[in-house]
Structure 1
Amino acid sequence: MPPSPAQIRSLVTAYLDRHPGEHDALAPLTAALDCAGDPTSRTTLPGHVTCSVAVIDRDARVLHVLHRGTGLLLAPGGHVEAADETLLAAALREVEEEAGIPASALVLTAEFRDGPIDIDVHDIDASPARAGAVHQHYDFRFVVHLADDAPDLTLQVEEVGGAAWLPFEEVSSPTLRAKLVATGLDGAIRPVKLEQHAAEHPAPAVRTEPAAVSPAQAPSGNVPNIVGVHLYLERDGHVLLGRRHPDAAYAGGSWDTLAGHLEAEAATAGRAKDLPEPIVPYTRVAIEGIQSGRVYSELGWSR
């Protein structure tokens, strides 16, 4: 299911808090969020939400791809699809489709995390080939770093005719160019300190750190004592669990209750007395506590 208007509005509100002078420029977007219908659908007129992403390499250059349909050199991006749970997820999917770079080879920036660096409203000409009328795109632009172990570009030749890495000063979009220049980003990858649990911001397995963390360690992006929300779902003596992604920063490949990112993860049922291995330690304690009638359990606290 694509992101709801409420989810999109929260991104816009946070963005306008940083850029209060853009309220008038984003008026068509905010008006669209007040209307009925899906603001991300390409059939929604007079405009709809799109997504793109500035991928920055170690030399502080931004990836641009040449779109065959328009002949323009732009940052990877496009329309939101039904399976995209967030706008960031849509943007990262476009990067993989157009340039062959998976989300696992991209790193969130400490400055912008999973929020847009730029939101731009621009006109789209009519397209007789696609029976498209003149309309507007409300483009949410995200920014990520390219990981050191990222694969080589693999362009989608049907739609992409080439690629180039351009310095900030040559970025094709004027608004994105101005914001990138103002950030002072230098291409260096720094760990991201996430203030909220990842379950509140579902997205693909885009990295928050430059290197993987040992499964035995808690992810360094966590803030101590932040409360995580987990779903305990039981039926006929079975508990629903999901296997964490093998590349997850914490407890990769372990079984856990439903929380956080579940993209590309399989879920299965397991008996409380026959839990699958490996399982996240706090999950075992919680399940055993719930089934034994305890309303509170502890793990890892020293007195």
Structure 2
Amino acid sequence: MPTAAGTRRWKVSEPQPVTARSTTPSSSASPNCEAELPPTRSHIKNVVAAYLKRHPTEATLLEPLSRTLDGTAEPTNRSTLPGHLTCSAVVIDRDRRVLHIHHKATGKVLAPGGHVEEDDRTLLEAALREVHEEAGIPPAALCVTAEFGDLPFDIDVHDIDANPAKSEGAHQHYDLRFVFHLVRPDVEIAVQPEEVSGAQWLPFDEVASPSLRAKLICSGLDGRFEPVNASALIHDGAGRYLLHLRDDIPGIWEPGAWSLLGGGREPGDTSLEATARRELLEEAGLELDVLEPFAVELATGTNGMAVPIQIFTGQWSGDPTALSLAEGVMLTWFNPDAMPRLRMSPSTLELVRRHAAAHAERHPRDQAVVRQPPIPGPEGPKAGSSSIPHIVGVHLYLERDGQVLLGLRHPDSAYAGSTHHFLAGHCEQESAVACLVREAQEEAGLLIDPQDVELAHVVHMVDEPGAQPRVGFVFRARRWTGTPEVREPDRCVSWGWWPADALPELIVPYTRAAIEGIRAGRPYTELGWA
């Protein structure tokens, strides 16, 4: 996100992972050229090659650039002669106008742009940084176009006069121009006073650059953005929604968050519905009979830009654990009431709530399916008696070198404040193992494969006569990934490893009883029953 007010730099994060017709640039420096700065030579070559495939008649014009890329000099370095790369941002509003700025040094009126810097991991990021620095427009107010994605719209070659003050001789700029739609028309233009004297919006036929002007006039661009991604909002018709827990690793979109299944449109997709169906099949082996358009969501990509996503809805009521999940950690059903506790995008939560409200209005009978009546025993319900629902909790038993993982609960916690306890949670509309995996990730950032989980102990307890009974399943994880970290500071203030034979004095009683039972080889403990 943007830095504090008054700070000029804005470092863009990882390259945008899913844009229409995108290349797959490298984001790390070449292992054979430690002096090479990002963007890497391979990334630049891929971008230029993709541009020439679209504009083959410009190969002769860009021959000097191709020779530079085949040489040993750094193509983005200001000292590389006879020419080097620059990047510009062609920002289009909904009135088919292009943003121009007035440069103080040259007196020219041009699109925002400039030299590539070492923090720019891709050429697209260089253009994003320049428009933010020179015009104050953050990447969150922009999105790529469906037609051009993260490829240049134009590459211009122009001469630069010698500048003795900077010890620069005459040279050329190969200016890669990336086109963006303005998705926030209310954004304020705040020019960089050191280098820019003003800004203005010019219609296509008044754009300063001849090559850019000609391409804009012939294009179908009108400033109205179109979705470049597609996701599926899957519900079971009874109030539950299917969410996907993404891998918590760097370089992916929304790491460690709950999200919808979906992804970016690829060249072979005939429509965004085809994109959604392909993603469902690739990510989870899931095929749905009907997908219906529901809404367009503006999400934030890994480079800070807005990403328009077409949301489709579909109904399915199967078992998520039976699906062949190829990406992410798990798939689980959730009720919207439980989602505020999850790590997920607020916009996704709002989408679910909107759909739930609309579905309740159209199909009010479906909502009753969620509230299941008590199930009688094999002999039927007895006269004068009724079943009592039990709270089901799951608890994680992690042991390392004879030590057990325990968390110190927050002093203001509604339960067991300032007391040590298992990593734990209550089952929602999910299996106990699925609940354990979810709670481990949400509370401590630990990733656990359900296949590495085994039941270690069961505690059946009641706090006092007449209180609601509880059943606690204590699961042992044979393997896990990650180091415990505090992710819910309002509930847990620290994680620590305690010797199993020297537990802290302040510990939840049934936690101590469960650990002692596990060490003694007992599978079951009762507490609080008369």
- Give the alignment of 1:111-130 within 5 angstroms: 111-130=147-166
Aligned to 2:94: 58
Contact 2:228 2:265 in 1 (8 A): no
What SS does the corresponding residue of 1:8 show, helix, strand or coil? Answer: helix
- In structure 1, distance between residues paired with 2:99 and 2:58: 26
- After superposition, residues 73-112 of structure 1 pair within 5 angstroms as 73-112=109-148
Q: Describe the superposition over 1:25-57 as per-residue Cα deviations: whole angstroms up to 9, x where unpaired.
A: 000110000011321111111111100010001
- Equivalent positions of 1:67-216 (< 5 A) are 67-148=103-184, 150-193=186-229, 194-195=264-265, 204-209=303-308
What's 1:15 paired with? 51
Distance 1:131 1:228, change over 3 A: farther
- The aligned residue for residue 268 of structure 1 is none
Bigger RCO of structures 1 and 2 (CA < 8 A, at least 6 apart): 1
**Structure 1 residues 166, 277: closer, same or farther in 2, change over 3 A?**
farther
CA, structure 1 residues 34+203, in 2 after alignment: closer, same or farther (shift >3 Å)? Answer: farther
Q: CA deviation at 1:275?
A: 2.8
Q: 1:288–1:120: structure 2 CA closer, same or farther, 3 Å change rule?
A: farther
Report the CA distance between 1:171 and its aligned residue.
0.7
- Over aligned residue pairs, what C-alpha RMSD do you find? 3.3
**Counterpart in the other structure of 1:275:** 441
TM-score by length of 2: 0.41
Task: Determine whether 1:38 maps to 2:70.
Answer: no
Q: Residue by residue, what CA displacement relative to the aligned partner does 1:214-263 show, whole Å, maximum 9, x if unpaired?
A: xxxxxxxxxxx9x7699xxxxxxxxxxxxx9979x879xxxxxxxxxxxx
Distance in 1, matches of 2:309 and 2:95, equals 16
CA distance in 2, matches of 1:88, 1:106: 12
What letter corresponds to residue 3 of structure 1 in structure 2? P
Greater fraction strand: 2
For the 8 Å contact 1:117–1:142, the answer to whether it is kept is: yes
Match of 1:260 in 2: none
| Structure 1 Cα separation of the partners of residues 328 and 111 of structure 2 | 35
* Residue identity matched to 1:46: P
SS in 2 for 1:30: helix
The one-letter code of the counterpart of 1:190 is: E
Q: Which amino acid in the other structure matches residue 44 of structure 1?
A: T
Report if aligned partners of 1:88, 1:203 keep a CA contact under 8 Å in 2. Answer: no
**Counterpart residue identity of residue 96, structure 2:** A
Provide the rounded CA distance (Å) in 2 between the counterparts of 1:140 and 1:250.
35
Which secondary structure state, in structure 1, belongs to the residue aligned with residue 205 of structure 2?
helix
Specify the alignment match of 1:48 in structure 2. Answer: 84
- Asked whether the equivalents of residues 101 and 150 of structure 1 are also in contact (C-alpha less than 8 Å), the reply is no
Q: Distance in 2 between matches of 1:69 and 1:2?
A: 27
Shift of the alpha carbon at 1:277?
A: 4.7
Contact 2:158 2:173 in 1 (8 A): yes
> Which structure: larger Rg?
2
Note the residue ranges of structure 1 that are not aligned, 5 or more in a row.
214-224, 231-243, 252-270, 295-303
Pair 1:14–1:293, CA change in 2 (3 A) = same
How many equivalent residue pairs?
A: 241
What TM-score, normalized to structure 1? 0.70
Aligned partner letter, 1:128: P
Gaps of 5+ in 2: 1-36, 230-263, 267-278, 280-300, 312-323, 330-342, 350-422, 424-436, 453-476, 481-530
C-alpha separation between the residues in 2 aligned to 1:29 and 1:277?
A: 52
1:165-189 CA-to-partner distances (Å, cap 9, x unmatched) read 0011111111111111111211212
